[in-house]
């Protein structure tokens, strides 16, 4: 009977295909009053679009494709039908709901005499067992084929050179005329239109409240004339968190300490949901840098780990969570910024290793990110002389310097494209950083980056001069137009993949705001934040002083400077008889006298540089002075970097919390008083100042050992 059913199914499906064959023929264009002719197609039939039936549902979207090459999302006046509602139904918003029964259905969208279709099917999943007593099913989508779906080549053929160049430009409008940009001004609107900008990056100054951010992003999209804009941001979590109203995730190194791919996925998903609700469609996160240099001044806790395998696993999990929401992720900073001792915001770092070492360490996580389908790769302003030994003369001082990865054809094209097989979008890091700005002119750096193979030019210095410079470089033959077009093709492919398309009638802003306010900073996301914090805080040392067994009458002192109010507030929630001494300098006699009747001292230190954690630094001198001056336990908390204990190894107990976010302080306080047992494991090695190892990778105590 099974074979008979299969044979019966074939003519039924064939009949459906015959009846609908006319729909996939040559594009039939209609005339819309006051506009060009257009065709009606389904976005999901475009080869670059991503189609998945999740939880038995599929959102289909119609497109108007105009003869001049551009395409838009139309107003919702289309008719949707399903040929086999026993298998799948479709509502008038294009939402397909699978019934769970096996079979296929043709889902059609029509508008007047225009129409398009797609086939959805449910097949028995022999590997899936049974669900509610019935065999599991797997869903498939069959796209239609034909020239009418070749949107990108058609768009590029009809673009002006200025429009092509504009797609590659992503400036920031952080401030203007001395004010933070929190709303779209006529001046910015004019720049978006004049230069046909393909995207904009937002910063903390731009995203103050949920309502304001949603309005700003929506206004940018309205301003775009033909194509949807990439609205990007650096929402990594931890110390790089832009949304002022969003959930403050503890950051990547906290995830490294928690050792959970599931948690990393949840973090990426929560961040993606918040950005997506606001209309922000591209996140320059996560960092795939392997932080194996304790002296690194720019990556540090932005990295998951010093271990390439752990970094790759957590980074891919985070990326999958992020991109599963429809928000593009970015693996940065290729080929790896983790083993540097110079901040590329301030200077030009170098990584001296050969390719064999780089492939095992620095490049390993990026290769895994590429294989997992990360949407974009961001390059680092770091030199890798063993990959590209090309030298140029610095405009800063006339010396010879190696070409940084961002401007290197050997890195961007020969390594990323040819050797590692990546075909997604490549973006520069910010071109206003001193590693680039000091040594290369604003226009020269952009031309070099494009020649090297970059697709997105991020934060160029001087929008007008850079746009004009790129145009002139193409017209003079310095850059071929085909080189520009290959980047535009990848950018448009990304936009179609993520449904970033100009809307003829955007959703009412009050609906967008209401959804954003339900999503951004939601209770579910705050729970993820708490869980990461609780599972990441790491107990490195405990001379039998933790957990604190303090009676109500016992006084506890909290001492420090940076973020010490937050640590104090968290401790005081757990023990009311707590006092605060704000000081990073050597303690005065008066302050020491305040400690005469305390039962324990909790001291917080916050560092981001090698100089900050030196024993000679006033903050560290104060901690060591305390250790020698009092007879009660001194418990230190490394608020940001776990390396702080290198400056005061004789402290009685030490906790690394990796983050100055509220949830991390609350988790630390709960651990201090035994309400939670520490679970974190060091994601990095803590070196001994004289060259050995103070605490090894993976070290972490609990109250059960």
pLDDT for 347 equals: 52
Domain check: are 508 and 561 in the same one? no
Rounded to an integer, the average pLDDT of 166-172 is 97
How big is the CA angle at 381 (ends 378 and 387), to the nearest 5 degrees? 90
Q: Which domain holds residue 675?
A: 537-695
Domain check: are 511 and 598 in the same one? no
Indicate the Cα dihedral angle 379, 380, 384, 390, nearest 10°: 70
Beta bridge partners of 539: 655, 701
Q: What is the DSSP letter of 412?
A: I
CA 443 to chain centre: 28
Q: What is the CATH number of the domain that holds 489?
A: 3.20.20.300
Alpha helices (H) in 373-441, listed in sequence order:
409, 434-437
pLDDT for 129 equals: 56
Tokens standing for residue 117: 């279709």
pLDDT for 12 equals: 39
Q: How confident is the model at residue 360 (pLDDT cuts 50, 70, 90)?
A: very high
Cα–Cα distance measured from residue 210 to residue 21, given in angstroms and rounded to the nearest whole number: 47
Q: Is 530 within the bounds of a domain?
A: no
CA proximity to 232, closest of 553, 547, 455, 508: 455
Domain check: are 412 and 506 in the same one? yes
pLDDT one-digit tens code per residue, 415-469: 999 999 999 999 998 888 776 777 888 899 999 999 999 999 999 999 999 999 9
pLDDT for 352 equals: 77
Q: Is 39 within the bounds of a domain?
A: yes
Q: How confident is the model at residue 350 (pLDDT cuts 50, 70, 90)?
A: confident
Beta bridge partners of 379: 334
Cα–Cα distance measured from residue 379 to residue 413, given in angstroms and rounded to the nearest whole number: 12
Q: What is the DSSP track for 174-228?
A: SEETTEE--S--HHHHHHHHHTT-SEEEE-TTT--SHHHHHHHHHHHHHH-SSS-
pLDDT for 340 equals: 55
Q: What is the CATH number of the domain that holds 581?
A: 3.40.50.1700
Is 381 catalytic? The answer is: no
Strands (E), 506-657: 538-542, 555-560, 578-582, 598-605, 634-638, 653-656
Helix axes of 463-475 and 442-452: crossing angle, nearest 10 degrees = 50
3-state secondary structure of 321: helix
Residue 17 has pLDDT above 80, yes or no: no
How big is the CA angle at 377 (ends 371 and 378), to the nearest 5 degrees? 155
Q: How confident is the model at residue 6 (pLDDT cuts 50, 70, 90)?
A: very low
Residue 59 class from Cβ within 10 Å (0-12 exposed, 13-18 middle, 19+ buried)?
middle
Prior bond to 704 cis, omega within 30?
no
Q: What is the CATH number of the domain that holds 29?
A: 2.60.40.1080
Whether the pTM exceeds 0.75: the reply is: yes
Q: Is 199 within the bounds of a domain?
A: yes
Domain check: are 242 and 372 in the same one? yes
Give the C-alpha distances (Å, rounded to integers) separating 515 from 15, 276, 325, 518: 43, 10, 14, 5
More confident residue, 682 or 348: 682
Q: Is 157 within the bounds of a domain?
A: no
Residue 550 has pLDDT above 50, yes or no: yes
Cα–Cα distance measured from residue 340 to residue 335, given in angstroms and rounded to the nearest whole number: 12
Rounded to an integer, the average pLDDT of 585-594 is 88
Helix axes of 509-519 and 261-278: crossing angle, nearest 10 degrees = 160
Task: Give 3-state DSSP helix, strand, coil % of the chain, rounded to 5.
Answer: 35, 20, 45
Residue 272 has pLDDT above 60, yes or no: yes
pLDDT one-digit tens code per residue, 481-517: 999 999 999 999 999 999 999 999 999 999 999 999 9
pLDDT one-digit tens code per residue, 79-138: 999 999 999 999 999 999 999 999 999 999 999 999 999 999 999 987 755 555 566 899
Cα–Cα distance measured from residue 205 to residue 187, given in angstroms and rounded to the nearest whole number: 18
Domain check: are 489 and 627 in the same one? no
Domain count across the chain: 3
Half-sphere exposure of 224 (CA within 13 A, CB side): 27
CA 644 to chain centre: 28
pLDDT for 11 equals: 40
Q: How confident is the model at residue 19 (pLDDT cuts 50, 70, 90)?
A: very low
pLDDT one-digit tens code per residue, 21-40: 333 333 444 554 444 489 99
Range among 247-261, 327-341, 401-415 with highest mean pLDDT value: 247-261
Residue 315 class from Cβ within 10 Å (0-12 exposed, 13-18 middle, 19+ buried)?
buried
Beta bridge partners of 653: 542, 635
Last residue of a domain, one of 480, 502, 524: 524
Domain check: are 615 and 543 in the same one? yes
| Phi, psi (degrees; rounded to nearest 5) at 77 | -115, 30
pLDDT for 348 equals: 60
Domain check: are 105 and 243 in the same one? no
User: Distance between the two ends of the chain, CA-based, in angstroms?
Assistant: 63
Average pLDDT of every residue of the chain = 90
Residue 257 class from Cβ within 10 Å (0-12 exposed, 13-18 middle, 19+ buried)?
buried
Cα–Cα distance measured from residue 412 to residue 86, given in angstroms and rounded to the nearest whole number: 50
Q: Is 159 within the bounds of a domain?
A: no
CA proximity to 140, closest of 120, 118, 158: 120
Residue 576 has pLDDT above 70, yes or no: yes
Last residue of a domain, one of 152, 182, 198: 152
Half-sphere exposure of 227 (CA within 13 A, CB side): 31
Residue 399 has pLDDT above 90, yes or no: no
Domain check: are 310 and 409 in the same one? yes
Residue with the two structure tokens 């300490």:
257
- The three state secondary structure string of 23-36 is HHCCCCCEECCCCC
Catalytic residue among 172, 429, 455, 666: 429
Last residue of a domain, one of 524, 547, 571: 524
Half-sphere exposure of 193 (CA within 13 A, CB side): 11
Cα–Cα distance measured from residue 498 to residue 325, given in angstroms and rounded to the nearest whole number: 9
Rounded to an integer, the average pLDDT of 241-269 is 97
Q: How many CB atoms lie within 10 A of CB 52?
A: 11
Tokens standing for residue 45: 């039939």
347 Cβ partners below 8 Å, 6+ apart? Answer: 434, 435, 438
Tokens standing for residue 579: 């006092």
Cα–Cα distance measured from residue 144 to residue 118, given in angstroms and rounded to the nearest whole number: 6
Domain check: are 132 and 172 in the same one? no
Residue 200 has pLDDT above 50, yes or no: yes
Using DSSP bridges, classify how beta strands 282-283 and 230-233 pair: parallel, antiparallel or unpaired.
parallel
Residue 530 has pLDDT above 90, yes or no: yes
Domain check: are 178 and 147 in the same one? no
Helix (H) / strand (E) element for 15: namely helix 2-20
Rounded to an integer, the average pLDDT of 597-604 is 97
Report whether 305 contacts 683 (CB < 8 A).
yes
Q: How confident is the model at residue 7 (pLDDT cuts 50, 70, 90)?
A: very low
Prior bond to 547 cis, omega within 30?
yes
Give the C-alpha distances (Å, rounded to integers) separating 630 from 115, 311, 326, 483, 617: 81, 41, 55, 68, 20
Is 429 catalytic? The answer is: yes
Domain check: are 457 and 508 in the same one? yes
Cα–Cα distance measured from residue 705 to residue 683, given in angstroms and rounded to the nearest whole number: 19
pLDDT for 88 equals: 96
Query: What is the edge-to-edge ordering of all strands in the sheet holding 634-638?
Result: 538-542, 653-656, 634-638, 598-605, 555-560, 578-582
pLDDT for 476 equals: 97
Q: Is 590 within the bounds of a domain?
A: yes
Tokens standing for residue 260: 């959970």
Tokens standing for residue 596: 């005469």
Domain check: are 223 and 308 in the same one? yes
Residue 265 has pLDDT above 80, yes or no: yes
3-state secondary structure of 105: strand
Give the C-alpha distances (Å, rounded to integers) separating 441 from 428, 459, 462, 496, 614: 15, 14, 11, 34, 37
Q: Is 581 within the bounds of a domain?
A: yes
Catalytic residue among 345, 438, 468, 699: 345
Using DSSP bridges, classify how beta strands 555-560 and 598-605 pair: parallel, antiparallel or unpaired.
parallel
Cα–Cα distance measured from residue 52 to residue 89, given in angstroms and rounded to the nearest whole number: 16
pLDDT for 296 equals: 67
Q: Is 160 within the bounds of a domain?
A: no
């Amino acid at each position: 009977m099974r074979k008979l059913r299969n044979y019966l199914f074939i003519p039924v499906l064939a009949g459906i295909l015959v009846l609908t064959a006319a729909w996939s023929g040559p594009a039939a264009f209609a005339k819309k009053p006051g506009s060009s002719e257009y065709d009606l197609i389904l976005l999901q039939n475009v080869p670059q679009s991503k189609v998945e039936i999740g939880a038995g549902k599929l959102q289909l979207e119609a497109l108007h494709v105009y003869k001049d090459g551009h395409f838009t999302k139309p107003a919702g006046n289309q008719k949707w039908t399903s040929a086999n509602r026993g298998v799948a139904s479709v509502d008038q918003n294009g939402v397909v709901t699978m019934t769970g029964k096996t079979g296929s259905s043709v889902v059609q969208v029509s508008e007047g005499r225009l129409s398009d279709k797609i086939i959805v099917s449910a097949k028995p999943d022999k590997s899936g067992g049974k669900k509610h007593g019935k065999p599991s099913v797997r869903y498939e989508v069959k796209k239609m084929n034909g020239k009418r779906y070749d949107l990108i080549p058609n768009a590029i053929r009809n673009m002006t050179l200025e429009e092509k160049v504009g797609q590659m430009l992503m400036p920031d409008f952080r401030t203007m005329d001395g004010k933070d940009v929190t709303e779209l001004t006529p001046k910015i609107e004019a720049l978006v239109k004049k230069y046909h900008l393909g995207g904009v990056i937002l910063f903390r100054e731009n995203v103050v409240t949920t309502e304001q951010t949603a309005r700003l992003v929506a206004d940018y999209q309205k301003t775009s004339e033909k194509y949807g804009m990439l609205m990007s941001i650096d929402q990594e979590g931890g110390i790089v968190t832009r949304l002022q109203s969003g959930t403050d995730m503890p950051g990547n190194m906290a995830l490294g300490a928690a050792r959970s791919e599931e948690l990393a996925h949840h973090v990426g998903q929560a961040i993606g949901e918040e950005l997506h609700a606001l209309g922000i469609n591209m996140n320059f996160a996560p960092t795939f840098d392997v932080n194996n240099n304790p002296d690194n001044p720019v990556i540090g806790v932005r990295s998951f780990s010093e271990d390439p395998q752990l970094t790759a696993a957590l980074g891919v999990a985070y990326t999958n969570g992020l991109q599963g929401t429809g928000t593009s992720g970015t693996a940065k900073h290729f080929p790896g910024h983790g083993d540097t001792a110079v901040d590329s915001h301030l200077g030009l770092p170098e990584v001296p290793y050969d390719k064999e070492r780089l492939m095992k360490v620095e490049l390993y996580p990026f290769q895994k990110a590429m294989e997992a389908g990360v949407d974009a790769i961001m390059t680092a302003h770091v030199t890798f002389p063993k990959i590209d030994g090309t030298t140029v003369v610095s405009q800063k001082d006339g010396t010879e310097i190696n070409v940084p990865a961002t401007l290197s054809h050997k890195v961007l094209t020969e390594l990323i494209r040819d050797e590692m097989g990546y075909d997604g979008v490549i973006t520069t890091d910010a071109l206003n950083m001193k590693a680039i700005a000091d040594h290369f002119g604003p226009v020269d750096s952009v031309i070099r980056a494009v020649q090297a193979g970059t697709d997105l030019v991020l934060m160029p210095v001087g929008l007008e001069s850079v746009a004009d410079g790129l145009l002139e470089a193409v017209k003079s033959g310095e850059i071929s137009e085909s080189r520009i077009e290959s980047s535009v093709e990848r950018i448009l492919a990304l936009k179609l993949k993520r449904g970033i398309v100009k809307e003829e009638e955007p959703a009412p802003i009050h609906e967008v705001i209401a959804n954003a306010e339900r999503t951004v900073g939601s209770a579910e996301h705050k729970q993820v934040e708490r869980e990461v914090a609780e599972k990441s805080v790491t107990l490195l040392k405990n001379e039998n002083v933790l957990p604190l067994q303090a009676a109500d009458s016992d006084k506890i002192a909290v001492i420090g400077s940076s973020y010490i109010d937050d640590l104090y507030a968290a401790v005081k929630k757990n023990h009311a008889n707590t006092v605060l001494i704000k000081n990073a300098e050597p303690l005065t006699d008066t302050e020491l006298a305040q400690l005469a009747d305390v039962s324990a001292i909790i001291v917080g230190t916050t560092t981001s540089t090698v100089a900050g954690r030196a024993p000679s630094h006033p903050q560290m001198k104060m901690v060591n002075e305390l250790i020698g001056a009092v007879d009660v336990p001194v418990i230190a908390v490394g608020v940001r970097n776990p390396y702080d204990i290198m400056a005061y190894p004789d402290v009685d107990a030490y906790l690394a919390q990796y983050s100055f976010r509220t949830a991390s302080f609350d988790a630390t306080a709960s651990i201090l008083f035994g309400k939670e047992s520490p679970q974190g494991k060091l994601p990095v090695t803590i070196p001994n100042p004289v060259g050995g190892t103070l605490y090894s990778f993976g070290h972490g105590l609990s109250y059960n050992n």
